[in-house]
Amino acid sequence: MRVMGVDPGSNITGYGIIETDGRRYEVVEYAAIRTPSKSRFADRLLLISRKLEEVIQRLRPQACAVEDTFYAVNVKSAMKLGQVRGVVLLTAARANVEVFEYSPLEIKSALVGYGRAEKQQVQEMVRLLLKLKEAPEPLDASDALAVAICHANTAGTYQRLSARKSSSR
């Protein structure tokens, strides 16, 4: 299964694509989409959408896992993040890629075993699981890979549980 993970942000949106058989993970590609801070917000959203469309078309993920919104103190920042998430969800849906959403707590728990893990701990676990020589940079791309791995783990568990239920009937 090929999974695209996305860590949405209005300045930097990280994405990462992995290939998995449910047990092993292999990185396909990861990067960050950087938007010019002086651009109009609508133009930044358009840039994020176009880049993700290109990545989806070129690499053909079967699922898109997106980091869910966390509660922010700054309402304006939370609203912008929500708009970026909307663009990511819409872009994947338009490409007929099934979308899954995971909270930061779920992602950290799936990778590190502790929902309040530091970003560097998550980044190091991503490096280990993907057998990379160096930790993926920037952190936004590393976080996106973490979301993809979280989904691969979660999807695999659901598939095994479904198979057990079907075979016990």
Q: Which amino acid is at 48?
A: I
Q: Which CATH superfamily is domain 2-167 in?
A: Ribonuclease H-like superfamily/Ribonuclease H (3.30.420.10)
The token pair at 163 is 């198979």
For the ranges 1-10, 74-83, 100-109, the lowest mean pLDDT is seen at: 74-83
Greater confidence (26 vs 160) lies with: 26
Neighbouring CB atoms inside 10 A of 142's CB total 27
Provide mean pLDDT across the span 55-81.
Answer: 88
What is the rounded average pLDDT of the residues 122-132? 95
pLDDT higher at 49 or 112: 49
pLDDT (tens digit per residue) in 138-156:
999 999 999 999 999 988 6
What was the pLDDT predicted at 108? 93
Whether the pLDDT of residue 162 is over 90: the answer is no
Please give the DSSP secondary-structure letter assigned to residue 97: -
pLDDT in tens, 20-45: 988 899 999 999 999 999 999 999 99
The pLDDT of residue 14 is 97
Residue 101 pLDDT: 96
pLDDT for 166? 61
CB 69 within 8 A of CB 81: yes
- Residues forming the active site: 7, 67, 140
Confidence of residue 76 (pLDDT cuts 50, 70, 90): confident
CA torsion sign for 72, 154, 12, 90 is negative
Close Cβ partners of 65 (under 8 Å, ≥ 6 residues apart): 3, 4, 5, 6, 99, 100, 101, 102, 147, 148, 150, 151
Measured CA to CA, the distance from residue 144 to residue 57 in angstroms comes to 18
Please, which residues bridge with residue 5 across strands? 16, 65
State the chain's mean pLDDT as an integer.
Answer: 91
How far is it, in rounded angstroms, from Cα 114 to Cα 73? 23
pLDDT of residue 119: 87
Reported pTM: 0.91
